[in-house]
Structure formats: C-alpha cells, structure tokens
Amino acid sequence: MFKKSLAFILVVILFVTALTGCTGNKPEEKKGEVVLRWNISSEPKTIDPQLNSASDGGHIINNTFEGLMRERDGKLEKAMAESYDVSDDGLTYTFHLRDAKWSDGKPVRAQDFEYAWKRALDPNLVPEPSEYAFQLFYIKGAQDAYEGKGSLDDVAVKAIDDKTLEVTLNAPTAYFLNLTTFYTYMPVRKDMVEKDPKGWARNPEIAVSNGPFKLADYIMGDRIILEKNENYWKADDVKIDKIEALMIVEQSTALTAYEAGEIDIIDDLPTQEIPRLKAENPTFMIWPEVGTYYYIFNVTKAPTDDVRVRKALSLAIDRKAIVEKVTKGGQIPATGFTPPGLLDAEGKEFQKVAGDYGIDPNAAKVEEAKKLLAEAGYPNGEGFPEIEVIYNTSESHKAVAEAIQAMWKENLGIDVKLANQEWAVFQDTRHQGNFSIARAGWLGDYADPMTMLDLWLSYSGNNDAQWNSPKYDKLIEDSKILTGQERFKLLYDAQKLMMDEMIVMPIYYYTRPQMVSEHVKNWEKTKMGHWFFGRAYIE
C-alpha cells in the first residue's frame, strides 16, 4: 500500500514538473486571492478591439472592455449606455452614457466611442486595416470612408458631448443594438492607442480598459493575466481577483492539467477522449454554438478555381462519418453555410428553409462527385495536381483533415498534402490568399443570418476565398435597406448564390464540448459563444 502511495506521489510530482515546463512558471499569488485558470488554447493574433477578428482574442476583449450594450442571460441589457433614444424613422440612435471610468480612473466619454469606431474604418489604420470594419458599414458614410471615397469626418457617429453619442444609420437595422455588443464597437482611448499603435493593447503599462477586468501581464506564448478592474462601474459584481488565460495548444496537455485541478475551464478537447469524458466526468458538457466548421476554396487558384472541382470535393466527403467517428462532440453534418439557431422574419429556421444545396448530410455522393471531376478534366483523379490543405495546429483539425484526405483518395483517386501552421501565421496565410484549400470556422456575432453571409462581400476583410461577386454584393446591400420577409428573400438568394458557387465546403455545424470545474459558479457564455466572467465566482 505504501509503495502504491509513493508511486502515486512521484507521478503527481512528475506531472506538475511537466506542466510547469509546458505553460511557464506560475505568477505569484497573494494570500486569499481568487484566481480563475482558463485555457484559451492559442495565442491571440491581437487583443485590440478594432483589429481582432478571432474568438480567442474576442474572449479576452469581452472581459476587459464593455460596449454600449451587453448580452446577459441571452438578453440585451444596457452597459455603457444608461439609456438610448431611437428616432421615429429608425435611423438615428442617441446613446446617453452612464458615469463610468477607465481602469486608470479617467472617465469613459462618448468621444472614446467615436474615436474607436472611426479608427476601425480608417483604411490607413496601423498596423493594418481592420478585418471587421464592414460590421460598421450600417452607419451612414462608413463604407465610403473605409473605401477611400469619403472622409472619416463624414461618418455619422458623433459625440455631442462627453455623455451623448449620436449615430445615424443608412437604413433601419433591427439588430443594430446587438452589433454594439461586439468587440469592433468597443471604446478605446486615443491617448493610449497613440502611445504605441501596434502594441498598446498588449502592454500593461499603457493598456486601459472599461470592462470588469484589466490587463496585468502578457507573457508571449504562455498566458495573459487579467486582474479585477476596481474602476469598473459594476465592480461589486466582480468576485474574481485574477484570471490566467493560458495558451496551451496541445489538447491532451490541457485536459491532463484540467483533470489534475490545474485548470478550471477548457473548451478545446481531444476528440478521442470525448466518449470517456461524456461517460465518466460530470463536468463535461456539449454547449450549443451558432457557427459552422468548413473548408475554404481559393477560387483564384487552379484547380479550385473550377466550380466543378469545388463541388466534386464537397460531394465526395461523408459528413456523418466525420461527426460520428472523428469529432464525436455532437456536431451536426452541415449542408449550407448558415447554421441552425438563426430565424427569418416568420420565425422559421433559416438553415432548414434554405435547404441542402444537393449535399447529403448522411453520406458522400461519390458517383456525382466523380462525374463532376471528370467534366473538369480529371477522370478518376487522373492528372489532378497535388494540392495542399492547410489548418491551424490542433489535434482535432488534424484528425478531420486526415479523414477528408482519405475520403478524397478513396472516392476520387486524388492525393492532397496536409500542412499545419501556428495560429497567427495561419490567419495571415488565409487572409493573403496563399493557399488552395484552408480549414476555417465561423461563429455568429449576433443573432441574424447576416452575421454569416456578409463575410463573402467582395470588400469584407474576412473573404478569404478571394471571391468577388457583384451580384452577391448587391443582394446583401439591398437586403440592408429592407425589412421583414422581403429582406430575408434576398438573404436566401445570397446564400444560394454562394453555395451554387461552392466557395466553401461546409462540414459540420458547431457544438462546443467543454468542461468547467464544479467550483466555478455563475460563469456565462453568450448565445454566440463568448465567455464572460464579470459575475462569476469560485466556491
């Protein structure tokens, strides 16, 4: 018995030593300090609200900044806006700001919002234009300013005084208040940004925030440390003193740390462990998410510049086998780009009404795929050039890629190479179009199909397919000035156009297997999947 106990102690010691090596030395903790340890999996490319376009950076921003509105318990509530008025024509919003402070004690002003929104629209923004600027195009003059056809001074967002922000839209937009919860719409302080336009958000000496937490330290490749913002307007609600957002890329390492009590929250799990966790661990849960996992085709490079090739590749995969045998997390085989959970004006689920675009969710359509590939000049895969599928480093992305690689080999007779890249590099590779096929995923930012469909506008900073369709642009733009089911008809037409072109290969609709330690209470996740710890506590 003694030998077994000794052996167990030695294993624990070895594990803790190994974990320290993987995640770096832990910062010193004060006595009685309440610390939440949460794995964000990868290092964010940025945590600058106007530059971020990824969920990892978005989680940090959602806890360090606060917009005019915030989603809580699935509903919108007023945040920096103490109240607001909407004109009779639905075009002008006047927000009245509450008394609130930045983390350094200075007041949050309407001018901070005006500066931040116009900053996102600046085509000369340093270090690069905002990939999410298009989310502000609902504002009068915004798109012209971003495209260099107008001035930022003409953008219809104006601080009337320190407490009053006036915004005029191009057309009535039912979900505009939802948009103001998003990170691109968060306020930032001009004086701090201008001290270091490229690195201010990662520098604790100059980064200021107005949310429940503030940046205390940023250790590259290791962790981001947040501390309670004592100047937050609802500081009494904040029960956690410190958050350590860890950057453990290896899913198995993170899971081992979680099961040893070293991490409190993980939501990137090894797929091979999901059946065991589902059966044995009461903290395992599958969280619904509004999002789609897919592959992007670069439509400007051969052979994926041929729509027949793109359709053949899409029809040749067995989506049911991928979700049941590879991902194993309750995902739903995807037949379109817009996921379940988003409704049209009649309350019908957009995804169901849209249909399946010829995709069988339960099996590959091999004969049809072979016929299309032959029509494109590659009968039985003969002469098909070797192409590469890129994905960001992850055990699960690798497993999906290997499954698809095998399906394409078996069903079409073609060989593809697989290559993984570190997350920040991968994002740049995709945005610059230096690929043929790339893994991607998109989580909705607000509860409307537009959150998915405006990605493929020709001027969207996230149109990594390099697709340019004036017809698609017009459908989306015309929908923005309509309401009700008339608007949704154009959105259905827009998705049909992009799916007929098969610029993406939908694979599955997301769910999020995650684990939260039982002692972490009152944590929140928005309908769109953003973590929030402003009211969480540790029991």
Cα 367 from Cα 362, distance rounded (Å): 15
Q: Among residues 339, 268, 323, which one has the least CA distance to residue 504? A: 339
> pLDDT, tens digit, for every residue of 134-155?
999 999 999 999 999 999 999 9
Q: One digit per residue, pLDDT tens: the chain, 539 residues?
A: 333 333 333 333 333 334 444 444 455 667 789 999 999 999 999 999 999 999 999 999 999 999 999 998 878 999 999 999 999 999 999 999 999 999 999 999 999 999 999 999 999 999 999 999 999 999 999 999 999 999 999 999 999 999 999 999 999 998 999 999 999 999 999 999 999 999 999 999 999 999 999 999 999 999 999 999 999 999 999 999 999 999 999 999 999 999 999 999 999 999 889 999 999 999 999 988 899 999 999 999 999 999 999 999 999 999 999 999 999 989 999 999 999 999 999 999 999 999 999 999 999 999 999 999 999 999 999 999 999 999 999 999 999 999 999 999 999 999 999 999 999 899 999 999 999 999 999 999 888 999 999 999 999 989 999 999 999 999 999 998 888 999 999 999 999 999 999 999 999 999 989 999 999 999 999 878 899 999 999 99
Q: Among residues 498, 454, 494, 492, which one has the least CA distance to residue 307? A: 498
3-class DSSP assignment, residue 365 = coil
- The two beta strands, 157-161 and 69-72, are unpaired
CA end-to-end distance (rounded Å), the chain = 33
What DSSP designation does 324 have? I
Q: Among residues 37, 38, 58, which one has the least CA distance to residue 49? A: 58
The domains of the chain are located at 55-211, 287-512
Task: Answer whether 50's CB lies under 8 Å from 116's CB.
Answer: yes
Q: Among residues 79, 32, 44, which one has the least CA distance to residue 532? A: 79
Residue type, 462: N
- The CATH fold assigned to 55-211 is Dipeptide-binding Protein; domain 1 (3.90.76)
Domain 287-512 in the same topology as domain 55-211: no
pLDDT at 13: 38
pLDDT at 9: 37
Tokens of 465: 């397919």
Bridge partners of 275, per DSSP, are none
What values do phi and psi take at 508, rounded to 5?
Answer: -155, 160
Q: Is the pTM of this model over 0.85?
A: no
Give the dihedral sign, CA 131/134/139/145.
Answer: positive
pLDDT at 73: 83
Which class would CATH give 287-512?
Answer: alpha beta
What values do phi and psi take at 154, rounded to 5?
Answer: -90, -5
Residue type, 133: A
Q: Which residues contact 296 (CB under 8 A, 6 or more apart)?
A: 430, 435, 437, 438, 439, 440, 464, 465, 503, 504
**What are the angstrom distances between the C-alpha of 436 and each of 164, 349, 385, 390?**
48, 32, 11, 8
Looking at 47-154, list the stretches that DSSP marks H as alpha helix, in order from N- to C-terminal side: 55-64, 110-120, 142-146
Cα 3 from Cα 15, distance rounded (Å): 18
Per the rule left: phi > 0, alpha: psi between -120 and 50, beta: everything else, 90 is left
Q: Among residues 150, 128, 129, which one has the least CA distance to residue 139? A: 150
Greatest alpha-carbon pair distance for the chain in Å reads: 78
3-class DSSP assignment, residue 448 = coil
**What are the angstrom distances between the C-alpha of 427 and each of 50, 182, 224, 276, 504?**
16, 20, 20, 33, 17
